[in-house]
Structure formats: C-alpha cells, structure tokens
Structure 1
Amino acid sequence: MAEYTLVNLMTFVVGLGLLFNGYYIVRRGREDIALFVLSAIVGLGLVFVALVPNAFQGIATLLGLEWQARAILVISNLVLFVVVTYLFNRIGKLYDQQSRLNEELSLLKNDLEEQRDD
C-alpha cells in the first residue's frame, strides 16, 4: 500500500491547477491547443505521481537506476526540457508577430501623415 504525505497532496493540487489553467486559457480563446496539451500532460503526470507514488520504482528499474528519486528527477528534467523548448519557440513566434505589427503600424502612420499633408 502506498504511503501518502503532504507532498502527494500538494502535487495533486498543483496537477489539478495546471489542468484547470490549461482548460481556462483555451476556453477563453487566448491560446492555441498546444498549450492545453502541454498543460494536460504535465498536470496529468503530476496527478499520476501524487496518486501512484510507487510507479516510479518500475521506471527506475527500467532506466537502470537504483533509486526512485533519480527516476523522478530524470523524467522531471526531460519534461522541463520540453516545456522550455516550447516556450522559447512560442516567444520567438510572438517576437516575430510583434515586429511585423510594428512595421505595419509604422507604414500606416506614415500613410496617415502623408494624407494629412495633401
């Protein structure tokens, strides 16, 4: 039988928070579905770890690690790598969109000033 601690409760709450936040952002139409999928994967992973804390023993054995904590750290680092890569790509796309909007705004402002002069 698994032993549940305060850490399990906090992990469960954070996982549910990520799931709710991803759903809320997509529902409001502020972000694309990729953010929801990423939030769902991380949130479900946290809920899974909170409810089945001994599951990482099998993963540790599969990875050839002797301690469950090392398996958790390896998986956590891999997930963080994916999240950071996604965020960097997203920031790059947003920067490009902002640059295009600034160029268009400058052109429109220039056209408006030329029309006023005529």
Structure 2
Amino acid sequence: MSPLDPSTFGTQSPRTLDGRSYPEHLRAYEGLDDALLPVVAQLEPATFDDLSIAIDEPRLRASLPRWLASAEWRGLIQRLDASMRGPRTYGLGPEGPAQLHRAA
C-alpha cells in the first residue's frame, strides 16, 4: 500500500498519498474501535499473534485482520516494524490516543 496521507486522518475519506480512497468494505469494522484499540494500546508494540491471544471473544478475534486494516487506514494504529521482514508489529498511530480519549 502507498503511504497514507496524514492530512486525511480524522475524516470520513482517508486516502493514500497517491489518491486511493479508504475501502468501503472496511467501514463495517469501525464499530470495533472501542473494543480493540485499548488492546493495542495496552500491548504495544504488539504482533498480530500477541493481539489475537489477548482477545477472548471469538467474534472480535475473527474480525482482527480487517479491523487492523481499517484502523491503519484511519491512523488509529501504525506499523512499528522497521522492515517488511519478520512479523508485523503494531502500536498506536497519530489518531489513536485521541480516539482512546473519546472512548473513555
């Protein structure tokens, strides 16, 4: 994926720097922010496996891959790994702390 355009975070239309739009099918996962974003915040840096193990509810665990994609597009989380090698590592993105504050 092309780098995300930070100026579009917090809008209804996040975009990449090359102009691609947020995929509509990911909007369905936005409702999981309040349940999953605190898990990322608590464990960061966290791999997919770390997050998956920490989620007890099967429905949430099954939604994790798509929610990660949605949250990354929206700037709630970001990849922290230094390269494309090895496991992906996630932490809060530039919009993550504000979203956590709104949910509290």
> Who wins on radius of gyration, i.e. which is larger?
1
Q: TM-score, normalised by structure 2?
A: 0.25
Which of structures 1 and 2 has the larger relative contact order (alpha carbons within 8 angstroms, sep 6+)?
2
Q: TM-score, normalised by structure 1?
A: 0.23
The structure with the largest strand share of the pair is 2
The structure with the largest helix share of the pair is 1
